[in-house]
């Protein structure tokens, strides 16, 4: 069996997605997600100009060899662009192998370790009543674990609470350059514990609650937040400090028993070495799409499992249904599964990417279709071409840039 075609499809059914479609001489196709939010075209070029030509003529069954060839062979290793491109190849080849075997991918990863996959959804609001409504809406959709993000008094915009205008009121620039949001760490640290106190009072002790600090705090600020949130029994505090600095989590860990999760911007296992070896975290949160695919994620989970650390694959809207499907096969198979982030996609996105996975009563399942279980509608994808789009940036009151 040989690869005869490797095509990169960019589509924007509401937001941009980059998909690699690999075809074999037997006519089997495999899909991989390579979406890097706000930097999509860099990965498109990497794949189209530098990777696709190398795939033609290769045996699609040699997945590990293809991975090592693209990772070591390029000499320039790691980084989100490189690892998103390699991830797309890895997932597309797993999709092909599983289709040829006539099995859903999870069967090739050791088979199911569980019957269903618990998901968490995102609740948010700029006031407590808005947050409560948002939690109830998620509960009505079946969610049994919920991430809470809140507006902060005095701030116009906060991560996780929808923004379409810059703090100076300008909106139309949103496609050409990032929206500017504002940030004040002191105001946030004072307010967030009150939000969780109110949510616990309203929804009781049993509902698993999560919170994402989105890399905005210094180690000592994160330590304080972790301590202040202890009475409200969080499932985790996510990305409390900037992700480049593994040692930062050591300080946080020394001060709080609030469980810690990190990893959505990590690209390789080396970003986790200290964190896992020294048990500084409780959940590894990388995306299949940004971590080089299913192969390295499986190795990561096995490594993390040796320290009792669990999986929590990154699954926001900017991971395509292809990346989500790959995640779900891993979730079902690995023993040390923790939880899966799942916001779902728009109906149009689900038409472009028809998928076998399901969401019922707060639980996901990858389905039983051979491969990863996603089919791309090429014509519908082409009808929704790329649109420039960026993540926001944060500025403090004095005008300086802060982590977003």
Interface residues with ligand GCO (CB under 6 A) are 37, 212, 214, 264, 316, 318, 341, 391
Q: How far is the CB of 36 from ligand GCO (least distance, A)?
A: 8
**φ, ψ for residue 245, nearest 5 deg:** -110, 95
> What CA–CA distances, in Å, run from 29 to 5, 49, 55, 58, 76?
9, 20, 13, 14, 29
CB closer to Mg ion out of 3 and 237: 237
Contact 370, 363 (CB under 8 A): no
Given the complex with Mg ion, which of 33 and 95 has the nearer CB atom? 33
Q: Using CB under 5 A as the criterion, which residues of the chain lie in contact with Mg ion when the complex forms?
A: 212
Q: Exactly one of 106, 120, 159, 272 is catalytic; name it.
A: 159
Nearer of residues 24 and 340 to ligand GCO, judged by Cβ: 340
The partner in contact with residue 95, picked from Mg ion, ligand GCO, none with C-beta cut-offs of 5 to 8 angstroms by kind, is none
| CB 399 within 8 Å of CB 180 | no
Our CB check for ligand GCO shows the closer of 85 and 93 to be 85
Residue 186 binding target from Mg ion, ligand GCO, none, CB below 5 to 8 Å by type = none
Residue 337 Cβ, how far from Mg ion at the closest point, in Å?
A: 18
- Whose tokens are 């048990």? That residue is 279
Task: Specify whether 342 is catalytic.
Answer: no
Q: Which two tokens stand for residue 155?
A: 């701030």
Closest separation in Å from C-beta 59 to ligand GCO:
34
Which of ligand GCO, Mg ion, none does residue 391 bind to, with CB < 5 to 8 Å depending on kind?
Answer: ligand GCO
Q: How far is the CB of 302 from ligand GCO (least distance, A)?
A: 23
Catalytic site includes residue 363 = no
Rounded Cα distance, 124 and 121, in Å: 10
Q: Shortest Cβ contact with Mg ion: which residue?
A: 212
Q: Distance (Å, rounded) from C-alpha 130 to C-alpha 296? A: 40
Scanning 233-320, the segments in alpha helix (DSSP H) are 248-255, 273-277, 294-305
Residue 104 or 362: the one with the smaller Cβ distance to ligand GCO is 362
> In Å, how far are 76, 278, 297, 388 from 291, measured between CA atoms?
15, 21, 7, 24
Residue number with CB closer to ligand GCO (181 or 212) = 212
- 280: nearest Cα among 255, 299, 314, 312: 255
> Which listed option, ligand GCO, Mg ion, none, makes contact with residue 37 (CB within 5 to 8 Å by class)?
ligand GCO
Selecting among 122, 214, 314, 355, the annotated active-site residue is 214
Residue 216 interacting partner from Mg ion, ligand GCO, none (CB closer than 5 to 8 Å by kind): none
Interaxial angle between packed helices 63-73 and 294-305, expressed in degrees from 0 to 180 and rounded to the nearest 10:
90
Smallest distance from ligand GCO to CB 318, Å = 4
In this structure, what DSSP letter does residue 104 have? B
Burial class (CB in 10 A: 0-12, 13-18, 19+), 303: middle
CB of 315 to ligand GCO, least distance (A): 7
Residue placing its CB nearer to ligand GCO in the complex, 195 or 262 = 262
Q: How far is the CB of 293 from ligand GCO (least distance, A)?
A: 18
β-strands 401-402, 260-262: how paired?
A: unpaired
Whether the Cβ atoms of residue 227 and residue 255 lie closer than 8 Å to each other: yes
Please state the length of the chain.
404
Q: Where are the beta strands (DSSP E) in 135-182?
A: 146-150, 180-182
Give me Rg for the CA atoms of the chain: 21
Binding partner of residue 318 among Mg ion, ligand GCO, none, CB cut-off 5 to 8 Å per kind: ligand GCO
Residues with catalytic function = 159, 214
């Amino acid at each position: 069996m040989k690869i005869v075609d490797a095509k990169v499809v960019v589509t924007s059914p509401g937001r941009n997605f980059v998909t690699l479609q690999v075809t074999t001489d037997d006519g089997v196709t495999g899909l991989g997600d390579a979406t890097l939010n706000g930097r999509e075209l860099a990965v498109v070029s990497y794949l189209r100009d530098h990777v696709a030509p190398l795939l033609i003529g290769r045996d699609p069954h040699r997945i590990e060899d293809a991975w090592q060839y693209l990772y070591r062979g390029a000499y320039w290793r790691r980084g989100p662009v490189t690892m998103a491109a390699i991830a797309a190849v890895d997932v597309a080849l797993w999709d092909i192998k599983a289709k040829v075997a006539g099995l859903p991918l999870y069967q090739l990863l050791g088979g199911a370790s569980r019957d269903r996959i618990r998901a968490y959804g995102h609740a948010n609001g700029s006031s407590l009543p808005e947050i409560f409504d948002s939690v109830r809406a998620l509960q009505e959709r079946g969610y049994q674990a919920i991430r809470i993000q809140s507006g902060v008094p005095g701030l116009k915009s906060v991560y996780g609470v929808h923004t379409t205008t810059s703090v100076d009121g300008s909106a139309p620039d949103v496609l050409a350059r990032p929206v500017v949001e504002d940030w004040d760490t002191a105001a946030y640290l004072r307010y967030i514990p009150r939000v969780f106190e109110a949510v616990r009072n309203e929804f009781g002790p049993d509902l698993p609650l999560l919170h994402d600090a989105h890399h905005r705090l210094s180690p000592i600020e994160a330590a304080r937040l972790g301590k202040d949130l202890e009475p409200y029994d969080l499932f985790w505090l996510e990305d409390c400090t900037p992700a480049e600095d593994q040692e930062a989590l050591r300080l946080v860990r020394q001060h709080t028993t609030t469980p810690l999760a990190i990893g959505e911007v990590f690209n390789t296992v080396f970003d986790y070495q200290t964190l896992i070896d020294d048990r500084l975290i409780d959940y590894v949160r990388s995306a299949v799409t940004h971590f080089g695919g299913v192969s390295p994620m499986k190795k990561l989970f096995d490594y993390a499992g040796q320290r009792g650390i669990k999986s929590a694959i990154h699954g926001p809207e900017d991971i395509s249904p292809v990346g989500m499907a790959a995640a779900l096969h891993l979730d079902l198979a690995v023993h040390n599964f923790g939880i899966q982030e799942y916001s779902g996609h728009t109906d149009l996105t689900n038409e472009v990417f028809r998928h076998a996975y399901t969401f019922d009563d707060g639980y996901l399942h990858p389905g039983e279709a051979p491969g990863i279980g996603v089919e791309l509608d090429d014509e519908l994808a082409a009808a929704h071409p790329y649109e420039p789009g960026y993540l926001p940036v944060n500025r403090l009151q004095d005008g300086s840039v802060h982590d977003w």
